[in-house]
Structure 1
């Protein structure tokens, strides 16, 4: 089906422009955190916002008002969860995963690799991507809450204070 009607195209243009402006306003009001990729909940909200926008644009069963309310609900829930987790560390543990130490002083922590389902090949790839050719020169590899790996070289390690709260480091 290539074409249904001019009114359908007109609806997409009008509702699309309105929904776009609505998304921009909601994102501006809700703050930078709404589109951050800090943890799994942030990713879910980002995907849900995109899906909601697509539904508003393409489904004539959903009015602009319903879509705007849905977008506002998602942004509001994101804000509420961000406030909750920033004020009560216990709540943060419910919503986000703690970062995990995967490698210390060039040596893999096998139990952490197994628990996080990460291979040594993936560690080596992350180390190479960081510009190092020698795993033994790496003081720490941390699997962050958002799924990325942070690489800290031995020269940059300092007192290791950035590893506070990382599972497998000091607990």
Structure 2
């Protein structure tokens, strides 16, 4: 974790610098909402390499996003300094796991611009079916466990509580 932690991001999270491109902005000169999902994806790709090792690529083995939820908290404007995107594991099941994510400003900016959750399922690409996570995968994910980010949808009937 960085020396300048983002609020409400667990210590187990890994924070990655992600470049905000001029083309990421919308007509209001704010980062377009779809870009946050791309920032989550980019951080997730880096995290998988760090969590599972360079010799093993979980993405090549098969991993599908099955759901995503995002709270857009504050409009983010362009900066030459990279945004900081935190990613951590919130839950691990037999074949799926959930990641927490937060997009923060560059170093020195403790603003969290968006927060979200992404649920992924391990997938057998050849057999075209979900597969169980292995012991090594479970152990790697457990090392980066933290609480699930609280989202607005959690407060609605049928939400997480």
Q: Same fold (TM over 0.5)?
A: no
Q: Identify the structure with the greater helix proportion.
A: 1
> Which one has a larger percent strand, Structure 1 or Structure 2?
2
Please say which structure displays the higher CA radius of gyration: 1
Please tell me the TM-score bracket, short chain as reference. under 0.3
Query: What is the TM-score with the length of structure 1 in the denominator?
Result: 0.25
